[in-house]
Amino acid sequence: MRNGSVQHRSFYKVLVANRGEIALRVMRSARQLGLGVVGVYSEADRDALHVKQADQAVRIGEALPVQSYLNIPAIIAAARASGADAVHPGYGFLAENEDFAQACKDASLVFIGPSPQAIEAMGNKAGAKEIMKKAGVPVVPGYQGADQSDDVMLAEAKKIGFPVMIKAVAGGGGRGMRLVTEAASFPDSLRSARSEAKAAFGDPTVILERAIQNPRHIEIQVFGDSHGNAIHLGERDCSVQRRHQKLIEEAPSPAVTPELRAKMGEVAVAAVKALRYEGAGTLEFLLDQSGEFYFMEMNTRLQVEHPVTEAITGLDLVELQLRVARGEALPVKQQDIRFSGHAIEVRLCSEDAAQDFMPQSGRMARWQVPDGIRVEHALQSGSEIPPFYDSMIAKVISRGASREEARGRLIVGLEQLTALGVTTNQAFLMSCLRHPGFAKGEATTAFIGAHRDALLAPRADAAFDTALAGLLLYVASPRAPSWRSGRSLSATFPLPAKIEVAGQTHELEVTRERDGSYTVATDGRPDKFEIDHLDADAIRFRHDGVMDSAKFLRDGDRLYLQHRGIPLAVIDLTLAAPKAATSNGGDGKVRAAMNGRVVAVLVKPGDRVTAGQPVLTLEAMKMEHLHKAGIDGVVTAIDVAEGEQVTTGRVVAVIGADQKTG
């Protein structure tokens, strides 16, 4: 039988069983308490910042980077080798794994988190809902049965009524979760959810829930200690999501009144006490439009979005975790907690919002964070963004006396942040924050879906950005004369160029005028620029009487440009050979849309397929992505195998055009 108690004792060195920004975040608070810190890493992370900044670091894997951080024996061995006497799991990976918590205890290591028993009880969504129902907490109606057969699951979904949610019984973060609107698409969604859950958590079991339309996603931060104390630290609103994953979080919620906060907090604290829970945890609820709330799940760990709670309470949540793990009583009582101001966090992700949030990997050529705003990250210029992990690469957090002040500061912070070399959702985040619906505090979980076109709309001055890109390609070209201020005695003539911006090709001409200015004619539109100053990575210029500036990076035929916070990737096609025309598989070749791992091949050579039919599934950054046939025809070749790692653009399947005649 699993030992349910938490092991308490003093510890002096903490091994952080995680990577990236959360590893650095934990190390920071541990050091403030005078503790030593140990990092672990897969071979893919050998040069990562969390490795460089740890007092010691131990390699725990080589071939499969994700599996390295899931290797319990290797992590326990790393703690022994480094002399660590406590382990902090961060979030993700093994943070909610009761076997890991028990293994730490068996190895006489203090696990900085709740007991294995509590993790086991609340880590299973089906079991957690039953516990909450018995405690009188309202839960979302659904099916949590042991019979997982396809026929039973479909029958139960029909009983619940569409739309329904399929959810992995283990884990979180949107993995293994699918919204199904009709019975016909249920079997494929069920298969995909199970596959993703198995890959992410090692358990393909799922539950079904009624899909509550346009709810708010509200979570309550809780803490318990070994002395019987339990508190809540208010709510966070995590409604702005894509792919069922949080993108923007804030505290307090614009939709939660003091009365509702007290009610939800009372329910959450009662649950903590009933479980005799120790450490940090979060109870997640759906809040419908009538003000009713329903329990979804409990996360038995620190949350990604914990900084917004820290910002409005003044508490260090990681420090509280460490103190509770040492057996100390919580230093604050419920009546001592004060909420001050408003905080908003955005998740900066390496993904292309315009391409259905497709994960992106590669080299972050230039990375600079602004002063005066909190940025949690583990990046530096030249960092590699690998395809193996979650796409979140940083968190940007602002605080203000009011929600509007916090929103304004966050927009300015994102404008000043520089991330060049890998496509990110930086511009999309600013678009969300500026949207009138978000500004008014009206965003629900349907926000991105309802406003997607407006959020992804090109900027009104996109033509100007193209002209600026043309100017920079000219003045930053090694073939161009060095820029000097003042008039020129040289003869002027237009230099033709061809560039690609956001998938669109533009013809342009750049002319250095005798007065020292530049004229850029883009698709027939002239723009005049005067350069005040030009560095290797920044330009200050005047256009239409306005002095402005931009950051840039020239890398071969690529130009990365950031103007007013909006990053652009520009390709210089002037000297490029014409590309063969292909159209999303219209030539019969199915190409990998990203670097990733093949998790399922859904057809075989000889199969007849129709356009739009799923052919295989790739997993990248812990999310699955279906690849579909571009034409009707017969599969003539499958060029990959399940488990194989592929690169962007690789041909993974070939379909011969259908030659049937009527």
Number of Cβ atoms within 10 Å of the Cβ of 574:
15
What whole-number distance in Å separates Cα of residue 208 and Cα of residue 169? 9
> Under the phi-then-psi rule, with left for phi > 0, alpha for psi from -120 to 50, and beta for the rest, what region is 348?
beta
Which alpha helices (H) appear in 551-654, and where do they start and end?
Answer: none
Distance between CA atoms of residues 521 and 283, nearest Å: 57
Q: Is the distance from CB of 452 to CB of 445 less than 8 angstroms?
A: no
Strands (E), 413-555: 418-420, 495-501, 504-512, 518-522, 525-534, 538-543, 546-555
Tell me if residue 326 is catalytic.
no
User: In this structure, which amino acid lies at residue 419?
Assistant: A
From the list 95, 87, 70, the residue with the least C-alpha distance to 35 is 87
Please answer whether residues 251 and 308 qualify as being in contact, where contact means their C-beta atoms are separated by less than 8 angstroms. yes
Residue 257, Cβ neighbours under 10 Å: how many? Answer: 11
Write down the catalytic residue from 301, 407, 512, 554.
Answer: 301
Count of CB atoms situated within 10 Å of the CB of 103: 19
**SS3 of residue 507 by DSSP:** strand
Token pair for residue 273?
């006490």
The strand pair at 86-88 and 13-16 is best described as parallel
Rounded to whole angstroms, how far apart are CA atoms 463 and 474? 17
Q: What's the rounded Cα separation, in Å, for the pair 309 and 235?
A: 8
Return the active site residues.
301
